[in-house]
């Protein structure tokens, strides 16, 4: 599993469904550079069970992300047509109607591969094309990307393990607190709590002794 923290978030351009039903081509995170942090999260598959619970959970807290200036973006390996169809289904019927943030269609699996959350047996042929031996879907990956396009936090869960949306908000708060105050956040830090002054001398001394 690749560690992307501290690195530029992989770029991509792909179809997406936005505003709950509008299909757009060439969706990219570049539009948020210099403006917004982004929570990009991958989920395995449309029309399943755990996945809609996560998508609705993020939607329920979208106001919390928006007031922090954070954009939510979802992604799976399903097609944009599949996303659109699922968005038309009522929640009580297992659908995701009411979701307003973008859902990317990673149909060729290259985005999931770039973020190293792609499940399945695959390789590349001599022409650089991805060749699969079985069905490939994404793990439950989540990436917090700052305004410079740098990944600052990543989390990858196995398929049966749903994520905690409040923890994603806590990580946003920690990042923004650090950037605004220059202080670091200790274990279990929450918004409103005190931070800690980072000791550059102490870090340098530790590194020199190891």
Residue of 16, 40, 51, 70 with catalytic role = 51
CA atoms within 13 A on the CB side of 4: 26
Q: No. of H helices and E strands in the chain?
A: 6, 11
Nearest to 174 by CA among 202, 195, 148, 201: 195
Cα separation, 176 vs 94, in Å, equals 35
For the stretch 93-123, what's the b/e string if a residue is b when 16 or more beta carbons lie within 10 angstroms of its beta carbon?
Answer: eebbeebebbbbbbbebebbbbbebbbeeee
Residue 75 annotated in active site: no
User: Which residues are marked as active site?
Assistant: 51
């Amino acid at each position: 599993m690749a560690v992307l923290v501290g690195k530029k978030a992989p770029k991509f351009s792909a179809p997406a469904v936005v505003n709950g039903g509008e299909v757009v081509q060439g969706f990219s995170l570049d539009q948020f550079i210099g403006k917004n942090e982004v929570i990009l999260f991958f989920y395995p598959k449309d029309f399943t069970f755990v996945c809609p619970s996560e998508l609705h959970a993020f939607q329920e807290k979208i106001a919390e992300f928006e007031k922090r200036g954070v954009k939510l973006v979802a992604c799976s390996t399903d097609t944009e047509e599949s996303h659109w169809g699922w968005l038309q289904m009522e929640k009580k019927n297992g659908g995701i109607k009411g979701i307003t943030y973008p859902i990317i269609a990673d149909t060729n699996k290259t985005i999931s591969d770039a973020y190293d959350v792609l499940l399945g047996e695959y390789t590349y042929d001599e022409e650089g094309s991805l060749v699969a031996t079985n069905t490939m879907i994404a793990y439950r990956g989540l990436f917090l990307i700052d305004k410079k396009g740098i990944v600052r936090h990543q989390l990858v869960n196995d398929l049966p393990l749903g994520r905690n949306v409040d923890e994603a908000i806590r990580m946003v708060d920690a990042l923004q607190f650090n950037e605004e105050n220059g202080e670091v956040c200790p274990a279990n830090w929450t918004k409103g709590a005190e931070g800690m002054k980072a000791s550059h001398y102490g870090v340098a001394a530790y590194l020199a002794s190891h």
